[in-house]
Amino acid sequence: MKVEVWTDIMCPYCYIGKIHYEKALQQFDHADEVELEWKAFQLNPDLPDNGKGIPVSEYLTQQVGYPEEGIKSMYDSLRILSEEAGVVFNLPNAVAANTRDAHRLIKMAANKGMDTFVLGKLSKAYFEEGKDYSNRDLLVSIGKEAGFEEEEIITMLNSDEYKYEIKQDMQEAGNLGFDTVPTFLMDRRQAIVGSEPVQLFLDVLNKAYKVWKERNKEVSKPEVLKGKSCSIDGTCDI
């Protein structure tokens, strides 16, 4: 069963949602039958990159227009969610930057099955450690942890590689009718938007799996109507 997740590193609820999904997957009896694909989404593709990000609080007040009270309320809510998820809450010290290169590194890591690992490292750097995830040194460091050579990471970052795939992911999200992250799409039939509780993720996984299994059972043994034909050995029916 395929699970597609649209996410953005700068979305704090994406990090919490990822953790909740992973905890649910640990309890899911058919986790070995799940194929996970991370899809890129950019909440603000106009933010500065290459290590020139700005403090999150400044970004929220000056560019997004959030009132101070609204930011405090969001921080309070996220602090509680962080404690429940078992992660360090450090969002007030986070940096908002362009996520394009981070998404490209995740795409690159997917070739080695290390995309979940890289996404986790980038999310932690942003949410818990207050690091600028657009910084090339950080991207190279995380890429090397995922098993890539420094030279091939730098070569990718200096190219246009995976930029088209990011645009495709965002276009696909639009075609499916959503513009909010995180969005977890299970078998293209069940969706969860946001950092919902672990139990809800588990319930939806079970529901989606049941439908997927029944549907695949139906098509696994097609009815065959046989007429005259030719076999691989070259003989043909007369």
Please indicate, yes or no, if residue 238 is contained in any of the structural domains. no
In whole angstroms, give the CA distance from residue 229 to residue 155.
Answer: 53
Is 151 a member of any domain?
Answer: yes
- Residue closest to 193 by CA, chosen among 205, 202, 203, 180: 180
Q: What is the CATH number of the domain that holds 211?
A: 3.40.30.10
156 touches 115 (CB < 8 A): no
118: in domain: yes
Q: In this predicted structure, what is the pLDDT of residue 216?
A: 84
Amino acid at 94: A
Q: How many domains are contained in the chain?
A: 1
Q: What local confidence, expressed as pLDDT, does residue 215 receive?
A: 87
Tokens representing 133 are: 């995830």
Q: What is the full per-residue pLDDT of the chain (238 aa) written as tens digits?
A: 999 999 999 999 999 999 999 999 999 999 999 999 999 999 999 999 999 999 999 999 999 999 999 999 999 999 999 999 999 999 999 999 999 999 999 999 999 999 999 999 999 999 999 999 999 999 999 999 999 999 999 999 999 999 999 999 999 999 999 899 999 999 999 999 999 999 999 999 999 999 999 988 755 455 555 555 675 556 566 6
The answer to the question of residue 171 being in a domain is yes
Joined together, the tokens standing for residue 209 give 């799996």
Any domain includes 117: yes
pLDDT in tens, 38-57: 999 999 999 999 999 999 99
Contacts of 19 (CB under 8 A, 6+ apart): 85, 86, 87
Residue 119 lies in a domain: yes
Residue 63 lies in a domain: yes
- With respect to residue 227, please indicate whether it lies within any of the assigned structural domains: no
- Phi, psi values for residue 22, rounded to 5°: -65, -35
Contact 170, 176 (CB under 8 A): no
pLDDT of 113 reads: 97
Give the domain extent around 17.
2-220
3-state secondary structure the chain: CEEEEEECCCCHHHHHHHHHHHHHHHHCCCHHHCEEEEEECCCCCCCCCCCCCEEHHHHHHHHHCCCHHHHHHHHHHHHHHHHHHCCCCCHHHCEECCCHHHHHHHHHHHCCCCHHHHHHHHHHHHHCCCCCCCCHHHHHHHHHHCCCCHHHHHHHHCCCCCHHHHHHHHHHHHHHCCCCCCEEEECCCEEEECCCCHHHHHHHHHHHHHHHHHHHHHHHCCCCCCCCCECCCCCECC
pLDDT of residue 173: 95
Residue pair 181/192 in contact (Cβ under 8 Å)? The answer is no
Q: Tell me, what's the pLDDT at 234?
A: 60
